[in-house]
Amino acid sequence: MNAPELPRSFDPGERELPNPLPRPEGEFETLKRAWKPPRGLAFITAVNNTYVGLWYVGTAFLFFILAGILALIMRAQLASPENDLVSHGLYNQLFTMHGTVMMFLFAVPAVEAASVYLLPNMQAARDLPFPRLSAYAFWAYFVGGLVFFGTIFFGLSPDGGWFMYPPLTSTKYSPADNADWWLLGIGFIEISAIAGAIEIIVGVMKTRAVGMTLDKLPVYSWAMLVFAVMIVIGFPAIILGTLLLEMERAFDWPFFIAERGGDPLLWQHLFWFFGHPEVYIIFLPATGMVSMIVPTMAQTPLVGYRLVVLALIATGFLSFGLWVHHMFATGLPKMSLSFFSAASTAVAVPSGIQVFAWIATIASGRMKLTTPSLFVIGFLFIFTLGGLTGVMVAVAPFDWQAHDSYFVVAHLHYVLIGGMVFPLFAAFYYWVPAASKRALSERLGRWVFGLMFLGVNVTFLPMHVTGLIGMPRRVYTYPVGMGWDALNLVSTVGAFMIAAGVAVFLFDLARNFRFTSEDNAGNVWNASTLEWLPNGNYNTRSIPSITSRDPLWDQPNLSKDVEEGRYYLPGTVTGGREALVTSPFDARPQYILQVPGPGWQPVLAAFFTAAFFLLLTVKLVFPSVICGVLAVGCVIWWLWETDPGPVRPPADIGGGIVLPVYATGPVNHSWWAMIVLMVVSGMVFTCLLFSYLFLWLVNPGAWPPQGVRIPDWIWPSLAALLYCACGALIAVASRQLRGSDRRSPRSVPVLVGVALPLVCGASALDLWTQWESGLSPSAHAYGAAVYAITSLQVFFVLTSLTMGAYTIARWLAGRLDSVRRTTFDNTMLFWYYTIGQGLVGLLMVHGFPRLTGGL
Amino acid sequence: MSCALAVAGCSGVQSALDPAGGDAQRIYWLTVIMTVGGTLIFLLVTGLLLYAIFAAPERRAWLGGRRTIVVGGLAFPIVVLSVLLPYGLTVMRDTDVPTPGALPIEVVGEQYWWRVRYPAEQERGEFLTANELVVPVGRPVFVSVTSADVIHSFWIPNFGGKIDMIPGRINRLNFTAERPGIYRGVCAEFCGDQHARMAFDVIALEPEAFEAWRLEQVKPAREPDLPLLARGRELFRTGGCGSCHAVRGTEANGQFGPDLTHVGSRRTIGAGQFPNNIGTLAGWIANVQHIKPDARMPSYGSLTGEDLRALAGYLESLK
């Protein structure tokens, strides 16, 4: 760890500003030049967070409109009983796509997109720490999402519901490709979401304004941090679920087929372990936005900052303990229902804290009734109602009636539209002046709000009753004379009112939204946070030191001083793009990160990744593999330019702070990203172990099933030995690579080179052992589970192999030495992880069946 | 919302708001209490919000502190939930309770209909029927459910909650009908193409009427007593209907589709879709794929009008 000591002169409270005026000739011009986006066709290679963020938000909003149109068709179909506007087949695709697109292509990307735009600005960072990763995430989502949506025009859309319950979605009952579109299309968009989450975690923890300690972090940043951690923990479950289901569909591995020892409920556990937190994943960023908008509109600091932050964390924590409330009707014992019932109602407490914090803030200030305020008020109305019906459905006996009826449709739309769409519209009206030359129209905004607010209530309030008088969900039509006709017609009218509101919003955007990164409308609301500092492509001219949660209110002249370059790092010390990396808790400057600029690599990598998955979906295996190889190639090409090493001696950023332009170890931003990636991988593996144990539970006495022979101890012991040996080799290589004298010992590539065949050998040995014992992956869920664990390990070993070879290549190219060793460190971390996973896997596969009575 | 509930609380054959059994009754009161309570809390919260916005600054000042959050956001929900949760759990404990001596019925969900089996009980023999559950008033019923293909969910709103029908698992649901009448159950879990057309009738009879019904059901199919009906039976045989459908007492013993031994006695056909009469039966046979597309039964459109009438007449006669 070569973090700089804190300079003595550093004190965020001091009156003297770090950099004197006048600023040197050309300093500002160099800064501007470094951050200029490319022109012409190459414009799409731009990676500035403002551009990527805006494209990202725009694309997410496009999917909101598209999925909304699907909903209008459904509402038109349901306007009267026995209507035949659309066929049952199309209707089933429509509701599956409506849910899937709204959840995976609108809601999660929209909040992630907004944070790509807002987070760096709010924290006065120059950019996110991995701008190319955001670009990659965006382009993968853009291409994959549009192709996925396009399937609706060809009748190829998935039609098994957004929850994709097997066995309905298994090959037997859904033989066509439709289900594969969901599994591969969505599986891969989840990867994009995880990339974004890694970016957000590192961005919040490592790139902040100087002095922005954790207790001065904007609530929005807190919300995004919790959001990203939840993605990292929750999304692996669905990624694993889609993997298992796709393996069942493609290779007939019976994870969910009851006749062969599988269980359809396994999918439901995996799906809802992701699916319920998903709701809060969408909701928390929206509350973060509200916590930024309310204080501005009331012109007073947020009341109960600490309580609100605690509530965010508590919500995130609790949300992982209540997935079973989606499974109250699956026949689980009442004992476990009681537990999940209690946990589900308990989540009302942190939500209550937030609601009352906003009410208290409004009461302590003077709320201006602007369009953002109206949307916030609308949010509070709608969300409170949705929250209360949420408590109702959390009570299991009531849920036995309400479950899968229109009551739940009403509840979830109140929660999601209230909890996410209204705050998002508030955010549009609130933050457009930061991205556009003109603010949006307050007059039109009132119409948008009025139509949407009325529309939502007219659509969904009656549905509570429709559900309780017996109308089930996901029906393409309903019989005459059930008493549902009038209620459905009212709901349809309401849906078109919402659509009218959105149409007025689009008109407002067309009239008033003029994107700019240089001369925005400015701080029109007199807000207190740093995204309202004067900014350009480089974000803020200099990086402020802040002493308050509301710096623009409490630190007079901050805007002017920042703009004149009187704060830290007013130019560029390496001539390229730079960001200031700060310590995670108290935001002290640690080093100057050389940020990569625009490039084709992330765009091409994203296109080829999308092509890999999409071609695989339509079973064009060979072209798909080519695209996969090209995608990996592009990623390597992209990585090759990273890890630049200390290109110059430590530089003065002002105020006597001298920082290195390179750092390794836990100070390094990519070290953090690698740790998060390991958590993601660990969660995928944990979910797989859970699946293994779950399948054991549904097969008491048949684990392993009759006739299956567990391989002899000798083989797994040998594999474990190989894993340990290669771990030791890597550890030795790491020791060899120590020292501040920029040594690059020849032993490093040799040790890594020897470790490569060892790790491959361990994994191959285990696979061979299972195969040799005659275990079939498709005969019984036992075999499927064993091969799933072994195959996942093979995938990790192959990744380690690529990383090891890449590390050797870096050494050969002279890009790896004892100082410039981030590449090696990250490879080492991943390698250790792979070894650990391999050992746990061996223990599980060979040890557990012996415990349960196998031989 | 409570007033909306009151308005809609009218009778319905498929309504949780018109309970016809003890469990549904308990859940109904839980619904009413939570709805009223929820409405009051909603009014309180939105009232405070409007007060915070519109009251004069000096009058609303008391609301603008941390105390509001601690009292309103922390203490208040904890108190409310500490009352609600035990009540809800008590309702759960008392709902869906197995009772000794209950009438056992087995229901298998299939795409897109219900196979119903009444196991033998003492001297009364077992029999199969479809898309219809007949239960005696006052006697607890114990339904075991599972699925033959994908996941379905068994829901009779007037009698209580739903229970999923999951392949490889057997779930149980207990309820008691306390009011004679005709109710409707429905599949609540999306199960594919014709999920929307997968319902069934529930008929609660006085115990004597139920026993009489059961006696009739145990009997084999009645012999056709008219030439037209005999011809219908012949068409049923030659048309291969028996490879999917069983008619006890004849050689038709197919297991794939619904048992038709007493199909004429059922209220509806097509899994609760159409009233059961000779016209709808004929329409169903000739046009299944038009009226319930992608159901497992093919349309038999090539039958002549007269043949169709004979076949439908035969089925209708299987009372």
pLDDT score, position A14: 47
Determine contact, residues B15/A470, Cβ cutoff 8 Å: yes
Tokens at A135, concatenated? 């670009």
**Residue B142 at interface with chain A, using a CB cutoff of 8 Å:** no
Within a 10 A sphere around the Cβ of A736, how many other Cβ atoms?
A: 17
Distance CA A272, CA A589 (A): 41
From chain A, pick out residues whose CB is under 8 angstroms from the CB of B186.
470, 472
Nearest CA in chain B to A169: B150
Of B45, B157, B168, the CB nearest to A401: B157
Give residues with Cβ within 8 angstroms of A46, minimum separation 6. A37, A38, A52, A135, A598
From chain A, pick out residues whose CB is under 8 angstroms from the CB of B160.
400-401
Tokens at A28, concatenated? 């500002």
pLDDT score, position A189: 85
Cβ separation A352–B72 shorter than 8 A: yes
pLDDT score, position B11: 60
**What average pLDDT does range A540-561 have in this prediction?**
94
Bridge partner residues of B116 (DSSP):
B107, B129
**Helix A305-318 × helix A264-298 angle, to 10°:** 170
Lowest mean pLDDT among A176-190, A314-328, A742-756, B77-91: A176-190
Tokens at A749, concatenated? 């590539």
Per-residue pLDDT for A153 more than 90? yes
DSSP A40-95: GGGGGG---HHHHHHHHHHHHHHHHHHHHHHHHHHHHHHTSTT--SS-HHHHHHHH
Q: Percentages helix, strand, coil for chain A, rounded to the nearest 5? A: 65, 5, 30
Determine contact, residues A790/A838, Cβ cutoff 8 Å: no
Within a 10 A sphere around the Cβ of A43, how many other Cβ atoms?
A: 11
Tokens at A511, concatenated? 């009239």
Phi (first) and psi of residue A461, to 5 degrees: -60, -45
Give the B window 88-127 contacts with A, CB below 8 Å.
Answer: 88-89, 91-93, 95-96, 111
Looking only at the bridges linking them, the beta strands covering B113-118 and B103-110 are antiparallel
Of B69, B95, B157, the CB nearest to A356: B69
Tokens at A636, concatenated? 């390597």
Hey, is B54 helix, strand or coil? helix
Distance CA A338, CA B181 (A): 33
> CA torsion, points B275, B281, B282, B283, in degrees to nearest 10?
50
Query: How sure is the predictor about A854, in pLDDT bands with cuts at 50, 70 and 90?
Result: low
pLDDT for B96-139, tens place per residue? 999 999 999 999 999 999 999 999 998 889 999 999 999 999 99
Nearest CA in chain A to B149: A167
Per-residue pLDDT for B7 more than 70? no
Per-residue pLDDT for A360 more than 80? yes
Q: Which residue, A548, A554, A522, is CA-closest to A535? A: A522
For the four alpha carbons of A499, A502, A508 and A514, in that order, the dihedral sign comes to negative
Cβ separation A168–B192 shorter than 8 A: yes
Of B77, B167, B184, the CB nearest to A348: B77
Distance CA A259, CA B166 (A): 12
pLDDT for B222-274, tens place per residue? 999 999 999 999 999 999 999 999 999 999 999 999 999 999 999 999 999 99
Per-residue pLDDT for B176 more than 50? yes
Bridge partner residues of A296 (DSSP):
none
Nearest CA in chain A to B291: A82
Query: How sure is the predictor about A187, in pLDDT bands with cuts at 50, 70 and 90?
Result: confident
Distance CA A469, CA A482 (A): 8
For the four alpha carbons of A196, A202, A207 and A210, in that order, the dihedral sign comes to positive
Hey, is A175 helix, strand or coil? coil
Query: How sure is the predictor about A706, in pLDDT bands with cuts at 50, 70 and 90?
Result: confident
Of B41, B63, B191, the CB nearest to A359: B63
**What average pLDDT does range A409-432 have in this prediction?**
97
Give residues with Cβ within 8 angstroms of A72, minimum separation 6. A495, A496, A499
Query: How sure is the predictor about A700, in pLDDT bands with cuts at 50, 70 and 90?
Result: confident
Distance CA A744, CA A737 (A): 7
| CA terminus-to-terminus distance, chain A | 49
**Residue B46 at interface with chain A, using a CB cutoff of 8 Å:** yes
Distance CA B300, CA B53 (A): 68
Distance CA A494, CA A505 (A): 17
Hey, is A803 helix, strand or coil? helix
The whole-angstrom distance between B222's CA and the closest CA on chain A is 33
Helix (H), strand (E) at residue A306: helix A305-318
Domains of chain B: 2-94 (no CATH), 103-218 (2.60.40.420), 227-317 (2.60.40.420)
**What average pLDDT does range A411-430 have in this prediction?**
97
Distance CA A160, CA A165 (A): 7
Helix (H), strand (E) at residue A128: none
What CATH number does the domain located at A55-512 have? 1.20.210.10
Per-residue pLDDT for A5 more than 60? no
Give residues with Cβ within 8 angstroms of A413, minimum separation 6. A386, A456, A459, A460, A463
Q: What is the CA radius of gyration of chain A?
A: 28
Cβ separation A258–B45 shorter than 8 A: no
Q: Which residue, B70, B64, B79, is CA-closest to A310? A: B70
Fold category of A675-851 in CATH: Four Helix Bundle (Hemerythrin (Met), subunit A) (1.20.120)
Distance CA A448, CA A425 (A): 9
Cβ separation B190–A474 shorter than 8 A: yes
Residue A30 is given by DSSP the state H
Give the B window 207-246 contacts with A, CB below 8 Å.
Answer: none
Per-residue pLDDT for B31 more than 60? yes
Contacts 24+ apart (CB under 8 A), A330-338: A330/A265, A330/A268, A330/B164, A330/B166, A330/B171, A331/B163, A331/B164, A331/B166, A331/B169, A331/B171, A331/B172, A334/A396, A334/B92, A334/B93, A337/A396, A337/B92, A338/A396, A338/B89, A338/B92
Q: How many residues does chain B have?
A: 319
pLDDT for B185-195, tens place per residue? 999 999 999 99
Hey, is A486 helix, strand or coil? helix
Per-residue pLDDT for A785 more than 50? yes
Distance CA A338, CA A336 (A): 5
From chain B, pick out residues whose CB is under 8 angstroms from the CB of A357.
69, 73
**What average pLDDT does range B203-211 have in this prediction?**
97
Distance CA A654, CA A10 (A): 10
The whole-angstrom distance between B239's CA and the closest CA on chain A is 28
From chain B, pick out residues whose CB is under 8 angstroms from the CB of A364.
61, 63-65
**What average pLDDT does range B38-44 have in this prediction?**
97
Q: How many residues does chain A have?
A: 855
Distance CA B316, CA B225 (A): 13
Helix (H), strand (E) at residue A441: none
Per-residue pLDDT for A753 more than 70? yes
Query: How high does pLDDT run on average in chain A?
Result: 94
Cβ separation B1–A461 shorter than 8 A: yes
Q: In what order do the strands lie in the sheet with B162-165?
A: B132-136, B199-205, B181-187, B152-155, B162-165
Distance CA A760, CA A798 (A): 8
Q: What are the residue boundaries of the structural domains of chain A, listed by start?
A: 55-512, 522-659, 675-851
**What average pLDDT does range A737-754 have in this prediction?**
92
Bridge partner residues of B184 (DSSP):
B201
Distance CA B160, CA B27 (A): 7
Nearest CA in chain B to A310: B74
Per-residue pLDDT for A191 more than 90? no
From chain B, pick out residues whose CB is under 8 angstroms from the CB of A361.
64
